[in-house]
């Protein structure tokens, strides 16, 4: 069917551009992460708190992906780092082409870490390589512990799982052990961190991991 052919062509083209992005980033000594989650998991807050902690220790740039508005880029902009907003105008995922355009607009001189905040969606972003080194899933304690089973494609492709909003745990019926079990069942190699950006819980471990990542270790 023609629809399938067109979709395959789009994905093939995306893969080529993703590879171009990855090569460009590698040539310029920049390590990149693709942050994935459903809407409202706390990705932007996590980025803000990460910039607060690591801003003085490494040079970071941010690309924000949203369906509408540049609200997230405005929040990140307050930290004085290079930031670009991609507005997809209804598109439910970022594509390598859009990230390439955003990279073109940014001054990435001396940048060591590029954080790409994808559109909030646990389905199709898994299929679009942006040229990142690794995918990171942010899943908050206000979501269900069954998410890894429901969105297995995403969890299979990711290297890291950040369980966010850990400070809310006492108020929720959320089975943390079950989430870990489900996530590791889908992807046994997944590294799991528990964080609460607002209280700072687990942020030192996450930032420590980022320093290792920028040094090229994981």
- 124 CA to centre of own chain: 14
Kindly state whether residue 165 participates in binding Zn ion, applying the rule CB under 5 A.
no
Q: Which stretch binds Mg ion (CB under 5 A): 21-29, 69-77, 93-101, 188-196?
A: 69-77
Kindly state whether residue 72 participates in binding Mg ion, applying the rule CB under 5 A.
yes
* Residues between 76 and 95 that touch Zn ion (CB under 5 A): 92-93
Count the helices and strands in the chain (H runs, E runs).
8, 7
Kindly state whether residue 44 participates in binding Mg ion, applying the rule CB under 5 A.
yes
The sign of the torsion formed by the CA atoms of 64, 66, 72, 73 equals positive
CA-nearest of 64, 61, 82, 86 to 73 is 64
Closer of 45 and 127 to Mg ion (Cβ)? 45
Closer of 43 and 135 to Mg ion (Cβ)? 43
Kindly state whether residue 97 participates in binding Zn ion, applying the rule CB under 5 A.
no
Closer of 17 and 60 to Mg ion (Cβ)? 60
CB 210 within 8 A of CB 112: no
Binding partner at 124 among Zn ion, Mg ion, none, C-beta below 5 to 8 Å by kind: Zn ion
State the distance between the two ends of the chain, measured CA to CA, in whole angstroms: 41
Residues that bind Mg ion (CB under 5 A): 43-44, 72
């Amino acid at each position: 069917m023609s629809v399938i052919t067109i979709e395959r062509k789009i994905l093939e083209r995306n893969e080529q551009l993703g590879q171009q992005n990855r090569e460009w980033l590698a040539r310029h000594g920049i390590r990149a992460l693709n942050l994935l989650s459903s809407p409202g998991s706390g990705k932007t807050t996590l980025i803000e708190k990460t910039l607060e902690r690591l801003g003085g220790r490494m040079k970071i740039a941010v690309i924000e992906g949203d369906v509408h508005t540049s609200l997230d880029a405005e929040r990140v902009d307050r930290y004085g780092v290079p930031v670009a907003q991609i507005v997809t105008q209804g598109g439910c995922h970022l594509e390598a082409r859009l990230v390439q355009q955003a990279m073109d607009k940014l001054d990435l001189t001396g940048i060591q870490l590029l954080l790409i905040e994808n559109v909030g969606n646990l389905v199709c972003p898994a299929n679009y390589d942006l040229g990142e080194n690794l995918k990171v899933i942010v899943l908050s304690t206000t979501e269900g512990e069954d998410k890894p089973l429901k969105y297995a494609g995403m969890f299979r492709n990711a290297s890291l799982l950040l369980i966010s909003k850990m400070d809310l745990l006492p108020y929720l019926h959320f089975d943390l052990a079950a989430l870990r079990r489900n996530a590791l069942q889908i992807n046994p190699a997944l590294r799991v961190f528990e964080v609460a950006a607002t209280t700072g819980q687990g942020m030192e471990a996450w930032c420590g991991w980022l320093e290792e990542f920028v040094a090229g270790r994981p």
